[in-house]
A and B are shown apart, each in its own frame.
Chain A
């Protein structure tokens, strides 16, 4: 039973729809029929998982430091292996750490020369719960579709892995998806399988603008899974979270890099050293033309690398020219009894004759020098051209082969034929002999220049296919200009300007927008002489229009940012009444909640002033006579009584207007206007203590009204928001309280609300909630990532953050 579970965890079988994610994720790559076999072969990797449950615990317990491995062993033994892994993970809720278990240590525990059957033995030897961890973790891990800020990923992940992501890979735009820490918890289905996500802990600390729905949605299913998994034999069906929609691809897939030779994916004649880097041929040498012994790395090479490179040192090659060491790449279905380059979907550079074999021709092509003991052979694949290159002792040997890795996953692969032959691989464990960084840099620049030579196709960008009808072109003015000319170029500027202008207007950069608009009009009339009057007038009209929107919108936003919610509400009510009514008054509700928080903050400020004053008074005590001190206290007591009486009097609605500003400045009674003024001003100007009490009363009154008004509103959003809002009351100084409370009360929350209100207003006017410029950026980034995941190597060299964001 248990072993079945293991299997189901790794391979999408029908019985377990929830786990179908793998195949789901594989969609981008399913274009390639050859990926299927990989799944099968991954079974061996899975076996490795089961064979080293302790590892998982290590990772869990001792995450950051390796020394704890011993400790973990004890822990594992004590807790009977399987389940502890399980429960720890459950409670800690940090799937990512599990991945880190791929630390080199686990290798030591695996027998050096494992027969393929070993995993099964292992499984039976730990019959009770050996596979629970495997079963339970992947789903939860998979289901946590939480987006992860890439920067964090980069900073956290490398703490654990056996070696850092090689420096040259930092030039890949998709570097944040590439991992070297290789935990064999899941089969290493390339590119697709390890779509694990990062611990909520890390991502929760910096939530993106509105991530809460995601967080909540994710938490419950994984919680279910965890509960289930404690009961060891639970069939997969019980954790019946529905399979995600077929097109689901997590936003932050984890692409595993090769980190070692695969214990299970090797010819029996080869042994893998404990660190996973050395391959040695044991037993009788292969005889004849056909046989040989090959091994593949533990993970396929993600095309998202752009260029991937590894080096092999020939540790021992007896027999002079006879040794047919082959270095190259192979897809998973290539037989391990064949040298890379002898079979279809494998490519190899051979030591004995220096020829390069592409798997299609029996005779290799003359390529480079022969190589022998002590030589370091580098082997690189350039996914932007689907070509391969080799280096010898740091010298470049040239590009070779075509269509490498198109439609198949490829693994670093080595073939040996002679007894005692031995090689040692460097997957980035240590510096390379060849200046691979420069190589990648040059190619990156080529590819980028090529991409940047693309003509901007406005029809495409405006959502029209290439076949778009010509009449639609009336959208853009100046139809009569010949294509390709400089005027055409000028014409192309109009949409970009519109893009910028709408961005400025969206965020309320009014002065910039006006200056920009003026300059645009100016240059338009100058560039194209006369005959543009009609258009200019149109433009100006629309700009005036936009400006009008701008003004009120900016005022509204600024009011919220200043904490002046009343003005914000009043302005919105006047200019955009629909906004407040939308979603059954949700926006108004949120504004009123904010108003309450502002009142609490006022009260807190006022209290602070009282305390400051008291502190000052106490200070004075030491110098002053005791009588004065007593007077001061008496005075205050009296005031308090008065204040309290007064505050009870008016309705909270009336108070609303009065409290905000006066409470903030104690000595400005004169600035207070309206009916309320005479009622409070005499006291307020005398001592802050009264103001503090007043402010608190006002806040509480307002809160009560708020609660009463929304008592019947059962919407979960409303309930939880109200709850969190009232939570603020419990703190004398919410901002200083930190955590969620401060988040709820601080300037950040104002900014969030302001942004939300801004978006709501824009939406009510039929405008998108995000400026087109922002959507443009996000769309482009998403397209680049998707291309990288689909194996388009050039995407790795479209580094948006470097090209567009770096100052």
Chain B
């Protein structure tokens, strides 16, 4: 491997300084984050304080957040109603998402110990869908396995996980992304994309150059001297 380019802190900082990015650009990045992540009141305040128009109707943030909250507290029926109120096409055009919601509903039945309801719901609503696609079927089988373990601690992690709050968040995240897409917004905040790009870039560049890396928590740099210790 050819020797690495060495870029010193001073030189690097000068380059950073010379880059063109305005406060307004960054403000818009922040606004995007607030909107996508559903910080409605913050987005409102920010549009006043920074003199920036919000890219979407701020009310849509609220209904999106309500849907997310409904899912997070396990009220799937409410969530489905709300999604359909917002835009019925979202679920109509996205069978996988609809299945995910139904699955979540089944999980909630099991969580509440409503075994009879769970079985009935599974047979009437989910089984026909499981026939549609092997992927759905696998998910259905995994969910039904919950009944066998009855939330005993012996359950394998993959199955026990379905009952964890993480599963709710996952479902809520998928619904959220679908709504955002229907509003022609990205599913991830641009700020998150920026972080991903930096992770990719620093990793790539690290193979080719020594340069000051960002310490995000402090907002400063760390020299890559630690790198030298590695073989």
Question: Which residues in A have their C-beta under 8 angstroms from that of B14?
Answer: 145, 214, 251
In contact, B7 and A786 (Cβ under 8 angstroms)? yes
Q: How far is the CA of A150 from the CA of B21 in the complex (A)?
A: 10
Interface residues of B in 165-215 (CB under 8 A from A): 165-170, 173, 188-205, 208-209, 211, 213-215
In contact, A489 and B169 (Cβ under 8 angstroms)? yes
Contact with A along B99-114 (1 / 0, CB 8 A): 0000000000000000
Q: How far is the CA of A485 from the CA of B193 in the complex (A)?
A: 19
Given A456-B195, A519-B41, A526-B69, CB of A149 within 8 Å of CB of B20: yes
Contact of A500 among B33, B50, B214 (CB under 8 A): B33
24 pairs, CB–CB < 8 Å, chain A vs chain B: A31-B208, A249-B15, A451-B197, A456-B199, A461-B215, A461-B216, A463-B215, A482-B161, A486-B168, A495-B217, A496-B189, A507-B23, A509-B45, A514-B45, A515-B42, A515-B45, A768-B220, A772-B216, A772-B217, A775-B16, A786-B211, A803-B190, A805-B21, A805-B29
In contact, A804 and B193 (Cβ under 8 angstroms)? yes
Contact of B3 among A31, A485, A493 (CB under 8 A): A31
Interface residues of A in 231-287 (CB under 8 A from B): 245-249, 251-252
In contact, B197 and A784 (Cβ under 8 angstroms)? yes
Most buried by B among A454, A487, A778, A783: A783
Contact with A along B11-42 (1 / 0, CB 8 A): 11011111111010110111001100101111
Q: How far is the CA of A807 from the CA of B23 in the complex (A)?
A: 14
User: How far is the CB of A293 from the nearest CB of chain B, in Å?
Assistant: 33
Question: Which residues in B have their C-beta under 8 angstroms from that of A489?
Answer: 169, 173
In contact, B195 and A496 (Cβ under 8 angstroms)? yes
Question: Of B75-83, B116-124, B127-135, B222-230, which stretch is located at the interface?
Answer: B222-230
Q: How far is the CA of A558 from the CA of B196 in the complex (A)?
A: 36
Contact of B19 among A457, A511, A781, A792 (CB under 8 A): A781
Would you call B6 an interface residue if the criterion is a C-beta within 8 Å of the partner chain's C-beta atoms?
yes
Interface residues of A in 752-807 (CB under 8 A from B): 767-768, 770-787, 790, 792, 794-795, 798, 800, 803-805, 807
Contact of B195 among A251, A461, A795 (CB under 8 A): A461
Q: How far is the CA of A31 from the CA of B209 in the complex (A)?
A: 10
Would you call A87 an interface residue if the criterion is a C-beta within 8 Å of the partner chain's C-beta atoms?
no
Interface size on B, residues (CB 8 A): 84
Would you call B142 an interface residue if the criterion is a C-beta within 8 Å of the partner chain's C-beta atoms?
no
Closest 5 CB pairs of A and B: A147-B18, A463-B215, A772-B219, A31-B2, A463-B222
Further contacts, 15 of them, CB under 8 A, given A452-B197, A460-B203? A149-B20, A247-B6, A451-B197, A452-B193, A460-B213, A463-B216, A487-B169, A495-B217, A516-B42, A519-B39, A773-B30, A776-B214, A792-B204, A800-B197, A804-B190
Most buried by A among B44, B203, B213: B213
User: How far is the CB of A775 from the nearest CB of chain B, in Å?
Assistant: 5
Closest to A485 in B: B166
In contact, A527 and B72 (Cβ under 8 angstroms)? yes
Would you call A467 an interface residue if the criterion is a C-beta within 8 Å of the partner chain's C-beta atoms?
yes
Contact with B along A476-504 (1 / 0, CB 8 A): 00000010011111100101101110111
Q: How far is the CA of A589 from the CA of B122 in the complex (A)?
A: 76
In contact, A780 and B72 (Cβ under 8 angstroms)? no
Would you call A208 an interface residue if the criterion is a C-beta within 8 Å of the partner chain's C-beta atoms?
yes
In contact, A776 and B195 (Cβ under 8 angstroms)? yes
Q: How far is the CA of A503 from the CA of B28 in the complex (A)?
A: 12
* Chain A residues within CB distance 8 Å of chain B: 27-28, 30-33, 145, 147, 149-151, 208, 210, 214, 245-249, 251-252, 407, 451-458, 460-463, 465, 467, 475, 482, 485-490, 493, 495-496, 498-500, 502-504, 507, 509-512, 514-516, 518-520, 526-529, 767-768, 770-787, 790, 792, 794-795, 798, 800, 803-805, 807
User: How far is the CB of B163 from the nearest CB of chain A, in Å?
Assistant: 12
User: How far is the CB of A10 from the nearest CB of chain B, in Å?
Assistant: 23
In contact, A807 and B19 (Cβ under 8 angstroms)? no
Contact with A along B146-165 (1 / 0, CB 8 A): 00000000000100010011
Given A455-B199, A774-B21, CB of A485 within 8 Å of CB of B161: yes
Given A149-B20, A462-B215, A776-B216, CB of A496 within 8 Å of CB of B201: no
In contact, A462 and B194 (Cβ under 8 angstroms)? no
User: How far is the CB of B59 from the nearest CB of chain A, in Å?
Assistant: 16
Q: How far is the CA of A783 from the CA of B210 in the complex (A)?
A: 11
User: How far is the CB of A551 from the nearest CB of chain B, in Å?
Assistant: 14
Closest to B48 in A: A511
In contact, A780 and B16 (Cβ under 8 angstroms)? no
In contact, A28 and B197 (Cβ under 8 angstroms)? no
Contact of A515 among B5, B39, B208, B216 (CB under 8 A): B39
Question: Which residues in A have their C-beta under 8 angstroms from that of B198?
Answer: 461, 776, 779-780, 783
Interface of A is mostly: helix
Question: Which residues in A have their C-beta under 8 angstroms from that of B21?
Answer: 774, 777-778, 781, 805
Closest to B219 in A: A772
Q: How far is the CA of A30 from the CA of B6 in the complex (A)?
A: 11
Question: Which residues in B have their C-beta under 8 angstroms from that of A782?
Answer: 12, 15-16, 19
User: How far is the CB of B21 from the nearest CB of chain A, in Å?
Assistant: 5
In contact, A247 and B8 (Cβ under 8 angstroms)? yes
Contact of A795 among B19, B201, B219, B220 (CB under 8 A): B201
In contact, A454 and B196 (Cβ under 8 angstroms)? yes
In contact, B165 and A460 (Cβ under 8 angstroms)? no
In contact, A504 and B209 (Cβ under 8 angstroms)? no
Q: How far is the CA of A503 from the CA of B26 in the complex (A)?
A: 9
In contact, A150 and B30 (Cβ under 8 angstroms)? no
* Chain B residues within CB distance 8 Å of chain A: 2-8, 10-12, 14-21, 23, 25-26, 28-30, 33-34, 37, 39-42, 44-46, 48-50, 55, 69, 72, 157, 161, 164-170, 173, 188-205, 208-209, 211, 213-222, 226-227, 230
In contact, A251 and B18 (Cβ under 8 angstroms)? yes
Question: Which residues in A have their C-beta under 8 angstroms from that of B5?
Answer: 27-28, 30-31, 247, 790
In contact, B201 and A528 (Cβ under 8 angstroms)? no
Contact of B194 among A32, A482, A520, A780 (CB under 8 A): A780
Question: Which residues in B have their C-beta under 8 angstroms from that of A527?
Answer: 72, 165, 169
Closest to B190 in A: A804
Contact of B200 among A32, A149, A454, A495 (CB under 8 A): A454
Q: How far is the CA of A779 from the CA of B200 in the complex (A)?
A: 12
Q: How far is the CA of A28 from the CA of B169 in the complex (A)?
A: 45
Closest to B203 in A: A460
Question: Which residues in A have their C-beta under 8 angstroms from that of B200?
Answer: 451, 454, 798
Q: How far is the CA of A500 from the CA of B194 in the complex (A)?
A: 13
Closest to A780 in B: B198
User: How far is the CB of B61 from the nearest CB of chain A, in Å?
Assistant: 11
In contact, A487 and B166 (Cβ under 8 angstroms)? yes
Closest to B1 in A: A31
Given A486-B170, A512-B50, A773-B29, CB of A804 within 8 Å of CB of B214: no
Question: Which residues in A have their C-beta under 8 angstroms from that of B203?
Answer: 454, 457, 460
User: How far is the CB of A437 from the nearest CB of chain B, in Å?
Assistant: 23
Contact of A463 among B19, B42, B213 (CB under 8 A): B213
Q: How far is the CA of A778 from the CA of B19 in the complex (A)?
A: 6
User: How far is the CB of A779 from the nearest CB of chain B, in Å?
Assistant: 4
In contact, B42 and A512 (Cβ under 8 angstroms)? yes
Q: How far is the CA of A804 from the CA of B30 in the complex (A)?
A: 10
Q: How far is the CA of A248 from the CA of B34 in the complex (A)?
A: 39
Q: How far is the CA of A252 from the CA of B14 in the complex (A)?
A: 12
Q: How far is the CA of A518 from the CA of B25 in the complex (A)?
A: 25
Question: Which residues in A have their C-beta under 8 angstroms from that of B26?
Answer: 503, 771, 773-774, 777
In contact, B214 and A775 (Cβ under 8 angstroms)? yes
Q: How far is the CA of A710 from the CA of B129 in the complex (A)?
A: 83
Q: How far is the CA of A776 from the CA of B189 in the complex (A)?
A: 15
User: How far is the CB of A484 from the nearest CB of chain B, in Å?
Assistant: 9
Question: Which residues in B have their C-beta under 8 angstroms from that of A463?
Answer: 213-218, 221-222
In contact, B199 and A787 (Cβ under 8 angstroms)? no
In contact, B46 and A790 (Cβ under 8 angstroms)? no
Q: How far is the CA of A772 from the CA of B30 in the complex (A)?
A: 12
Most buried by B among A151, A455, A490, A804: A804
Most buried by B among A454, A790, A800, A803: A454
